[in-house]
Amino acid sequence: QKEVEQNSGPLSVPEGAIASLNCTYSDRGSQSFFWYRQYSGKSPELIMFIYSNGDKEDGRFTAQLNKASQYVSLLIRDSQPSDSATYLCAVNALTGANNLFFGTGTRLTVIP
Amino acid sequence: NAGVTQTPKFQVLKTGQSMTLQCAQDMNHNSMYWYRQDPGMGLRLIYYSASEGTTDKGEVPNGYNVSRLNKREFSLRLESAAPSQTSVYFCASSLGTASGEQYFGPGTRLTVT
């Protein structure tokens, strides 16, 4: 079982809709959860992090964490074509320098 | 602030050649990381340095060596390149073990023929 699992997509949503990206993780002891956005040919860019159960909102982005279900999600409201990218979920490992395990990413396409 | 910088951006090597990928950060971060990214495999950790003077193996260290030259710089060396090392390499840094937020450099696209 992989440490972090994501649906690879592609996920297509119309412009203005809500995009919902999901991630599950295997280690119950994980404490820190991150969402990165990666445009094609570019490096991952940190867009959200969440440490506590519940929701965390930042502009059009909302991260949701449910530790009991080992589930993290990212909602993007009022999706824009510029949101089209691959979204990587990352979870902290319990070893090393707070190392991260990354999922393989979900490719999102926002259709104008 | 430039953040995390990497050189070179692109490189083509022949099998058996060696090279060093350079990484530097100007955010006064303590921890630095080297990843490779392959299609369908996601980001995989090669080596990391929790703090200046320490380095440790990650998930896929075979065929690589690293040097934490000082707090700012962390280099990755391929002693004898193999086609299986064709990949995109990213360097990242974070404030330290108390902070998991990692910030990435622009990457190096390496092809080994």
What values do phi and psi take at A16, rounded to 5? 90, -15
Place of tokens 């990354």: A102
Reference B48, options B64, B28, B37, B63; nearest CA is B64
pLDDT tens digits along B22-61: 999 999 999 999 999 998 888 999 999 989 999 999 999 9
Amino acid in position A23: C
What CA–CA distance (Å, rounded) separates A76 from A24?
A: 18
Q: From chain B, pick out residues whose CB is under 8 angstroms from the CB of A99.
A: 33, 45, 48, 58
**Min CA distance, A80 vs chain B (Å)?**
24
Cβ of residue A77 closer than 8 Å to a chain B Cβ: no
What share of chain B has pLDDT > 90, as a percent?
Answer: 84
Rg (CA), chain A: 13
**Min CA distance, B76 vs chain A (Å)?**
18
Contact: B96, A32; criterion CB under 8 Å? no
- The confidence score (pLDDT) of residue A33 equals 94
DSSP A75: E
Strand A71-76 and strand B4-7: the pairing is unpaired
Beta bridge partners of residue A35, listed in sequence order: A48, A89
